[in-house]
Amino acid sequence: MITPREPVGWSSLEQFVAALEEGGHVLRIQRPVDVELEAGCIADRVVKMGGKAIIFEQPRLPNGNISKMPLIMNLFGSHERTKMALGVNEFSEIGNRLVGMMKPDIATISKKPWKGISLALQGLRMSPKRVKRAPCQEIMMKNPDLTRIPIPKTWPDDGGQFITLPLVITKNPESGEHNIGMYRSQIYGPKECGLHWQTHKHGAEHADSNQVNEKVPVAICLGGPPELIFSAIAPLPDNLSEFMFASFLRNKRLPLVKAKTQNLWVPAECDVVIEGYYVPGETRTEGPFGDHFGLYSLEGDYPVMHVTAITHKTNPLIPMTIVGLPPMEDGFLGESIGDSFLPVLNFQHRDVVDLFIPLQTGFHNLAIIASKQRYPRQARKTCLGLLGAGQLMFTKISVAVDADHKVKDFNALLDALHQKVEPASDLITIQGMVSDTLDSSSPWENVHDKLLIDATTIPHNDPRKGGAGIPRGSSFDATPDWRRGLIDAPGVSVDFCAKVRAMESVSDAILLRPSIMVITTKITHGPDSKIGMKAIEDPNSWVAQVDSSREQRKKIKQLMDLIWQLEDSENLRWLFITDDDVKLHSAGANQKLLWQKL
C-alpha cells in the first residue's frame, strides 16, 4: 500500500522513484535489455499484471552499446502510484483545490480583504521562477546525439524508435507564452526527430502562427518531477499554462532555466533537455506507430526537429511508456485526469453529477455521463454541452444516465441500456463532427459522426411519460409502457440465443441482457493491417483493401438479416458483432468487448 504525501512537490524524478522503491514498488532489471522490442514487451506484460515500475539498468541500444542512462517504464502503471506522484489520497482533491480558486466570495473579500490573503498567496506560488543554474544542464553533450539516449521501439511494425513521454515545449510567437504538450517523437537520426502534434494541439497552433522558412525554437524534455508529466496532458484552459499548473500541483514555484541554444525556458529539474528548432512547412514521413486503440496509426507527414544541443543531469533517468491495448500506463494517467478534473467540470457544467471515461475504450470513444434530470431532455442537453468542453470534443459515444447511476459499474450500464433505451427515440446521431486524429473507424481524418444515447428515466413532466405531470397544451408522446417504467423491458429468450448460436457463420453468442446480444464470427478475407499501411502509396493494395472491406460488410449484413428474420427478433434491441478472437465466456470478455464494440 502506498501512502500519498502532502502536496509539497517532488524535487525530481529521482526522488519520486526512490520513494517508490522504498515502498517496494520498483522492479530493477540489472541484465542488458534491448530497447528495440524487448523492453516494451516486458513493460507490456508487467502493466497488464498490475506490476511494479521497471528500471532497466542496462538498456542496450540498437548499435549494441549499453546506455549509461537507465530506462524506466510503467512509472504510472497503477492508480496508487499516480496518486503518490500527485500527492493526493483521491484525484478529486486536485479539482476541488482548483474550484476553490475559481469561485472566491468577492462580496466577502471586498468587505474583509484579509479573507483573500490565502488565495493571493496560492496564486503567487503558481508563478514559475527563473534560475541561472539548473540540474538539467549539469552536462552538455559535446556532439549532440539522440541515438545515445535509450529510446524504445515497442511494436514490430513501428516506423522506428519513439520518445513516448516527451514534454514538448513551444512558444506562442506573439505573446511569448510557453506551452508543454505531449506529442510523440520519432527518431530519424543523431540530430533529427519528428514532432507528432495533431491539428487540434497548441504545438500545431504555434507552428501555424510562425512564418514559413523561419527557424522556430522547440525543446523536448525528458523526466523531471512527475507533476510536469501530469501537467503536459492535463486539459487546461488557455489562460493557465502548464508551468503554472505544475507549480500549483507542487504547491511551490517551478524553477525554469534558459535553454543553452534556443530562446526558450525549460524546467530546471528535468533529467534531459533536447534543444532544437523546426521550420514551418518542412515535414517528414512519420510512423507507423502502435497506438492506444490497439491498431497502428498510419504514416503521415509531420514537422521535423533539428537538434542543436542535448543537456542532462549527471545521473539522468529516462521515462518512457508503451501504448497499446488496455490496460496500459497511459490508461491510468487518463483516468486520473478524468477524476481530477471532474469537480471543475461540475463547477462549469452544473447539470453534470458524475462522469466516467473508461480506459478500455481509448478515452475518446465512450463517456458515461450522470446528469440532473429536472426537466424533459435535460440529460441530452448536458451531453451536448460537454461536446464543447476541451478534450471532450473528441467523444464519439455519450451515454446519458440518471443522477444516481454508478458510472463506473459496467453492469449498471448494461441495465440502463436494456431498461431505458428505446432505439427509435433515444438514439441521436450527429453527423460530421470533430474527431480524434487517431480514430481509425472513420473514413475521414479528424472527422466522424457522434452518437448520443439517452438511458435516463423519463421525468414526470416529459410528454413521453403521460399522466397528470404533462404541462397544459402538451399532448402525450406515444411511448412503450416499458420505456415509461410501467412494465419490465422486453427481450429475447435463451432459446432465441441458441438459434443464433446454431447459425453456420456464428462462432458464439451470448445475451448480456435480454435485449443485448453479442455475436462472434470468423472473418475471412478481411482487410489486412500490414497491407493497409502500404495502401496509401500502392493503388493495387488500396483496391484490395476496399474490396476486402466491402466483402466483410456484405457478410456481416447477411448475418444480421438472418437474425432479424427469427421470430421475436423485434425485442432484440442491441446486437453487437465482433471477431471470434473474443472468448465471450472468459473472465476478461467484458473489458475486451468495451474496446472492440466501440
b/e per residue, 364-396, with b = 16+ CB within 10 A?
A: bbbbbbbbebeebbbbbebbbbbbebebbbbbb
3-state percent helix, strand, coil for the chain, nearest multiple of 5 = 30, 25, 45
Name the packing angle between helices 329-348 and 92-102 (round to 10°). 30
| Catalytic residue of the set 34, 271, 291, 439 | 291
Residue linked to cell 534556443 = 262
Question: Is there a contact between 150 and 35 (Cβ–Cβ < 8 Å)?
Answer: yes
Q: Is 291 a catalytic residue?
A: yes
DSSP string across 415-456: HHHHHH--HHHHEEEEEEEE--TT-TTSSBTTEEEEEEEE-S
Distance in angstroms (rounded) separating the CA atoms of residues 465 and 486: 10
DSSP string across 472-521: TTPPP----TTTTTSSPPP---HHHHHHHHTSTT-SEEEEEETTEEEEEE
Phi-psi region of 568 (alpha: psi -120 to 50; beta: other; left: phi over 0): left
Q: From the CB of residue 456, how many other CB atoms can be counted at a distance below 10 Å?
A: 27
Q: Is the bond preceding residue 288 a cis peptide, omega within 30 degrees? A: yes
Q: Is the bond preceding residue 327 a cis peptide, omega within 30 degrees? A: yes
Position 538, amino acid: D
The strand ranges marked E within 61-164 are 71-73, 129-131, 139-140, 162-163
By annotation, the residues acting in catalysis are: 291
